[in-house]
Each structure stands twice: as structure tokens, then as C-alpha cells.
Amino acid sequence: MPNIKSAKKRVLVAQKKNIENRALRSRMNNAIKKFNNAIETNNIDEAEKLLPETMSVIDSTVSKGVIHKNNAANKKSALAKKLSDVKSGKVEIKIKKDNKTIAAEKARAAQAAREAVREENARKAAERKAAKLEAEKAKLAEESAKGKKPKKEAAADKPKKAAKEEKPAAEKKETKKAVKEEKPAAEKKPAAKKKPAAEKEAPTEEAKA
């Protein structure tokens, strides 16, 4: 630790200048990153607009004494060369994608594939249903051409036949009831006469002898 007053002051000034220089360097680096990002996303118009602004920031950094003028010249020439190579077609830009973008694209592709499979299954089901209906129509047409009643009409006739069969049975029941009612009361068997109690209890003459 410095003990002299001027040395203490120099330490404080150096710290302050260091903070300022870091801010200027960060500003320059951010401008360069912004320009490179425009190139990587193949946004040529934006890159042309940002090139003079980036060079101005680099010159400002040189004037503050943060970097050497030769270092600044190298940076500016590299930026200009990158833009000219992209414009002339010497360098093909491959757009970089982060993990989030790649995952989103995979999810969209999987969703599209699921929807395609669902649509294909629905189409096949509709085709099978239509083929089944056509087969039934053809079968009905063949049966009608042969003179046979279709199954549906035969099934419709079944209740009518059952109703016809039920009618005679009901008539038979009614005739039986009528016959029973017509029988006279005289035809019924007379009830057996009960013997008096005195005759039952009196002993016979043979028993007395």
C-alpha cells in the first residue's frame, strides 16, 4: 500500500481510468458483435448500415487511448472484408441456430408428421367405409335382379308374419271361452248325497246276531 499522498491519489485515478477504459472497450466489442450478427443472419442491408457506425466506435476507442491505432485498423479492415466477401459471394453464410430454435423446429416437424399420419388414417377409414357401402349396394342389386327379397325387406316382413300367426291363437282362446260358457248347468255332475248320521251310527241286524 502506498504511503505517500500523491501515490494514493495515483492509485485512485488508475482505478477510475480502468473502469472508463473497460466501458469503452465493451462498447466497441458490442458494436462489432452486432455487425457480425447481422452478417451471420444474412441481413446484408443491416450490415451495410452498421459498418460505418462500428468503424466510428472503433475510432472513438482509439482516440481515448484504449487500443492502438494499428489494432483498430486491423479490426476495421476485417469487418469491411467480411462484408465485401458476403456481397460478392466468396463466402456462403450458414445461419446459426441456437438450441432453443432447433428444439422448436423439431417439435414443429414432429407435430406435422403426427397430423399427416392422422389425416392418412382418416382417409383410409373413409375409403374402407365407401368400399363397404358400394359392396352392399352391389349385393342388393344382384339379389333384386335374381328376384329375391333383400335381407332388409325380409327383416321388415317378419313382424307382419308374427302378427298374422298370433291372430289365430287369440281366436282359438276366444272360441274355447265361448264353448265353456255355453255348457248348461244341468250337465254338471250332481253332488253326492250325504247319509244321515243316525244311519251311520246304528248297528246292522247282522252285527247284533
pLDDT at 99: 81
What's the pLDDT band for 116 if we cut at 50, 70, 90?
very high
Please say whether the beta carbons of 2 and 11 come within 8 A: yes
pLDDT at 166: 52
Burial of 70 (0-12, 13-18, 19+ CB in 10 A): exposed
What's the pLDDT band for 57 if we cut at 50, 70, 90?
very high
- What would the pLDDT profile of 166-197 be if each residue is shown by its tens digit? 555 555 556 555 555 555 544 445 555 555 55
User: How long a stretch of residues is the chain?
Assistant: 209
- What would the pLDDT profile of 136-170 be if each residue is shown by its tens digit? 888 888 888 877 554 555 555 555 555 555 555 55
What's the pLDDT band for 63 if we cut at 50, 70, 90?
very high
Please say whether the beta carbons of 79 and 54 come within 8 A: yes
pLDDT at 89: 82
Which of residues 207 and 169 earns the better pLDDT score?
169
Return the ∠ at Cα 122 (arms to 119 and 126), rounded to 5°.
140
Residue 41 has pLDDT above 80, yes or no: yes
Residue 55 has pLDDT above 90, yes or no: yes
pLDDT at 113: 93
Residues 6+ apart with CB under 8 A from 11: 2
Which of residues 142 and 80 earns the better pLDDT score?
80
pLDDT at 185: 47
pLDDT at 209: 40
Beta-carbon count within 10 A of 39 CB: 20
Of the listed ranges 35-44, 116-125, 180-189, the one predicted with least confidence: 180-189
Of the listed ranges 5-14, 91-100, 174-183, the one predicted with least confidence: 174-183
Angle between helices 69-88 and 44-63 (to 10 degrees): 170
